[in-house]
């Protein structure tokens, strides 16, 4: 009885299906040919293999090679797109951008942290809360706010914030937790070995390109509620 070269977990000479799929198209074709010849040579003369089975196995090989080629093309395309994205974003270095984040970064060069959120309901007690790695909360009270866009800014110096990373959140009397957009200067763009694109934004630190919600140009004026 014939043994399928591609469908079984283990085939002639102990070759696994994973090793076949993992090889390049040329390596797979060469290995398949050798296994097919060995199978033909060692078949039972009194009970030869049905030729239709060989045809089926050749079809499976063709499908495997096509999948390998498709994977190679997809990988190359993804790499090219990442490179194009880095080039496009690189042209925006020095511009002000707005990113969605739950963390802000304070360093020696930090200026006011300017942000925005959207409230779904009115709030009689609204505040921006920054929590350091030590668990200490730093609150900026914004008072009563109507539904809609809420602009705010936080002065790290006035709050006595030390350098480091802080979680940022908006607390309201309605108990909603809106997402926060922070504005900052785009310092640099990097393409990581994994293919991911990372941005470094002032007052935010490293963040993904998918967090950008707006490019604001190089002379955007910021608004303050404080």
Question: 7-16, 106-115, 137-146, 213-222: lowest mean pLDDT where?
Answer: 7-16
Q: Identify the architecture of domain 96-217 in CATH.
A: Sandwich (2.60)
pLDDT (tens digit per residue) in 127-159: 999 999 999 999 999 999 999 999 999 999 899
Cβ–Cβ < 8 Å for 173, 119: no
How many alpha carbons fall within 13 Å on the CB side of residue 48? 7
Q: Which two tokens stand for residue 35?
A: 């296994």
pLDDT (tens digit per residue) in 85-128: 555 666 678 889 999 999 999 987 768 899 999 999 999 999 99
The DSSP symbol for 182 reads E
Query: Which of 18-27, 109-118, 174-183 is predicted most confidently?
Result: 174-183
Higher pLDDT: 37 or 87? It is 37
As a whole number, mean pLDDT of residues 178-187 equals: 93
Sign (positive or negative) of CA dihedral 195, 201, 206, 211: negative
Cβ–Cβ < 8 Å for 212, 97: yes
Q: Does the model's pTM come out above 0.85? A: no
What is the rounded CA–CA span in Å between residue 27 and residue 46?
33
What is the rounded CA–CA span in Å between residue 117 and residue 149?
6
pLDDT (tens digit per residue) in 49-81: 666 776 777 677 777 777 777 776 676 566 566
């Amino acid at each position: 009885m014939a043994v399928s070269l591609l469908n079984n977990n283990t085939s002639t000479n102990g070759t696994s299906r994973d090793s076949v799929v993992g090889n390049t198209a040329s390596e797979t074709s060469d290995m398949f040919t050798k296994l097919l010849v060995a199978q033909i040579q060692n078949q039972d003369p009194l009970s030869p293999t049905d030729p239709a089975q060989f045809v089926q196995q050749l079809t499976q090989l063709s499908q495997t090679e096509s999948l390998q080629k498709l994977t190679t093309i997809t990988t190359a395309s993804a790499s090219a797109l990442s490179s194009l994205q880095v080039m496009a974003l690189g042209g925006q270095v020095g511009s002000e951008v707005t990113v969605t984040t739950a963390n802000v970064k304070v360093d020696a060069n930090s200026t006011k942290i300017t942000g925005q959120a959207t409230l779904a309901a009115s709030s009689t007690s609204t505040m921006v809360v920054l929590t350091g790695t030590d668990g200490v909360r730093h609150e900026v009270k914004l008072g009563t706010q109507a539904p809609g866009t809420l602009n705010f800014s936080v002065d790290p110096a006035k709050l006595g914030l030390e350098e480091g990373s802080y979680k940022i959140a908006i607390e309201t009397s309605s108990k909603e937790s809106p997402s926060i957009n922070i504005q900052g200067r785009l310092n640099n763009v990097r393409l990581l070995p994994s293919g991911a694109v990372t941005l470094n934004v002032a007052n935010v630190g490293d963040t993904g390109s998918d967090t950008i919600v707006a490019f604001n140009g190089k002379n955007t004026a910021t608004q303050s509620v404080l």
